Structures are given as C-alpha cells and as structure tokens.
Homo-oligomer: A and B are copies of this chain.
Amino acid sequence: MNNVTLVRKEPSESLFREDGLRLDGRGLDELRPIRMEVGVLNNADGSAYVEHGKNKIVAAVYGPRELHPKHLALPDKALVRCEYRMATFSVEERKSPAPGRREVELSKVIRESLEPAIFVYKYPRATIDVFVQILQADGGTRCASITAAALALADAGVPMRDLVVGCAVGKIEGKVAVDLSDVEDKLGEGDIPMALMPTKKVITLLQSDGDFTPEEFKQALEMGIAACEKIYEMQRDILIERYSKVREEVAEEQEEE
C-alpha cells in the first residue's frame, strides 16, 4: 500500500527458546494441538472439521453421485474432483475471493493424495466431489486439508482401502522439525508437505520447497511418517467415536419405536 507504513512486532530473533524448545514450546518432533470433528454439516454426504494449530478447515464430500455434464464421466471408474478454497479472511492480508494459482495447484495435489485410497473402480461413470474450505490458515493447510478430507470421505461412506493423513516437515535454523507453524514456515529454510496412507505406509503427497540436503530430506520423511501416524491415531479414534454415536442413535430410535 502506497505511503502506508506497517509497524509490526519484530519477529523474535530465534525460532527456538533458550531451553531449546520451539517458540510454542514444542520439541522438534512434536505436533501442534489438533482437534477433529466428523459429521459437522447437514447437507453434505460426509463432512469433517479439523483444527490443526490455528488452521481451521471444513471438508465436505458429495458422492458417489451422478456426474453432470455426462461427457466428463469415466467409463471404468469414478471421477474424483477436489476444490480447495481459502476464505478471504483466512490469511493476514485479505485474499481475493476468486481462486488463485496456489489454490488451483493445491486442489490438484490434494485430489491426487486422496484418490489412491478410494475404491474408484466400484463406481464407474460416477463422481466423488471433495470440497475443502480454509476458514483460517496457519502453515500446513494442505496437509490438514487432506486429514479433514479423508475424514469426510469416510463419513460419506465412500469405500476406501485406507485413510489418508497429512503433515508437513520443515527445516528451521538448520534443524528438521515436524509441523511448522506459520512463523516457522515463513522464517524457516524449507517445508515438505506430505501425506500418508498409514496402514499401507505409502506416500500419496510429497512436495518440497526450500533447501534440504539429501540426508535432511530423508530424515524429514521419516519424521513426517511418524507424525502422520500420530495424527492417524486421532483420525481413527474420532471415526470410531462417530460410528458408535451413530450406532447408539440408531439403537435409541429403534427402542423408541
């Protein structure tokens, strides 16, 4: 903005505290607080809400359902589509409502990270639509989006061979650390967003920017896999809780009858 000076708090000089922990008190392999909720929306076939650090993300799934226009349909499998969108107020400077190039790319890689887990050949000519809305962004949105979208897919009853769980690993002041926060992401030396199919232990998303030696990169992947496995525990727990709740509700309804 022309002629407008921003006086902002200087970022602290180091991303580590004197006791060696990260600014928010975490160790190198520690995740930010994560909260998950499933079935948060009425209209979508499946939905989930994930808070990961200050990320606040809603994911919704429709399908498998009929595809319009029909000529887009695939003869042998379901078409998986994904839209990743950030709310205008989700970031420091207001974002234009129109999707930018980053949102287009992330829609693609999120879709490609989810599709390997879906039994797409069960639904030829159908579509499975995944929508991700970032209400607040705080570093690692694409990874938390994948965690949320996988929950929404499960909530929609889409048959899957595995869940998918996302987490980023980065490098701050020369050290590999999992799950960078916003400030770590901005001041750090690199970021590796990844996603895992946890029971198969295969990677479905892997990107990187910044500067990593091959050794750092491999170390990062191993730490990332471990972090993803922790998040997967939470995913599984929340789904079990959800199923038992649904089962209870059904049981109660039957009793009432």
Question: Which residues does A use to contact B, with CB under 8 Å?
Answer: 68-69, 71
Q: How far is the CA of A252 from the CA of B232 in the complex (A)?
A: 62
So how many copies of this chain end up in the complex? 3
Closest to A68 in B: B71
Closest to A69 in B: B71
CB contacts (< 8 Å) of A71 on chain B: these are 68-69
Q: How far is the CA of A130 from the CA of B64 in the complex (A)?
A: 38
Q: How far is the CA of A217 from the CA of B104 in the complex (A)?
A: 49
Interface of A is mostly: loop
CB contacts (< 8 Å) of A69 on chain B: these are 71
A247 to chain B minimum Cβ distance, whole angstroms, is 40
CB contacts (< 8 Å) of A68 on chain B: these are 71
A187 to chain B minimum Cβ distance, whole angstroms, is 33
Q: How far is the CA of A71 from the CA of B69 in the complex (A)?
A: 9
Q: How far is the CA of A71 from the CA of B70 in the complex (A)?
A: 11
A67 to chain B minimum Cβ distance, whole angstroms, is 13
A-B contacts, 2 listed (Cβ < 8 Å): A68-B71, A69-B71
Q: How far is the CA of A71 from the CA of B71 in the complex (A)?
A: 13
Q: How far is the CA of A69 from the CA of B72 in the complex (A)?
A: 12
Q: Which 2 pairs from chain A and chain B are nearest by CB?
A: A68-B71, A69-B71
A74 to chain B minimum Cβ distance, whole angstroms, is 16
Q: How far is the CA of A69 from the CA of B69 in the complex (A)?
A: 11
Closest to A70 in B: B71
A127 to chain B minimum Cβ distance, whole angstroms, is 16
Q: How far is the CA of A68 from the CA of B69 in the complex (A)?
A: 13
Q: How far is the CA of A69 from the CA of B68 in the complex (A)?
A: 13
Q: How far is the CA of A68 from the CA of B71 in the complex (A)?
A: 10
A182 to chain B minimum Cβ distance, whole angstroms, is 32
Q: How far is the CA of A71 from the CA of B67 in the complex (A)?
A: 13
Q: How far is the CA of A138 from the CA of B71 in the complex (A)?
A: 42
Q: How far is the CA of A69 from the CA of B71 in the complex (A)?
A: 9
A54 to chain B minimum Cβ distance, whole angstroms, is 32
Q: How far is the CA of A69 from the CA of B70 in the complex (A)?
A: 12
A98 to chain B minimum Cβ distance, whole angstroms, is 14
A177 to chain B minimum Cβ distance, whole angstroms, is 39
A149 to chain B minimum Cβ distance, whole angstroms, is 29
A20 to chain B minimum Cβ distance, whole angstroms, is 49
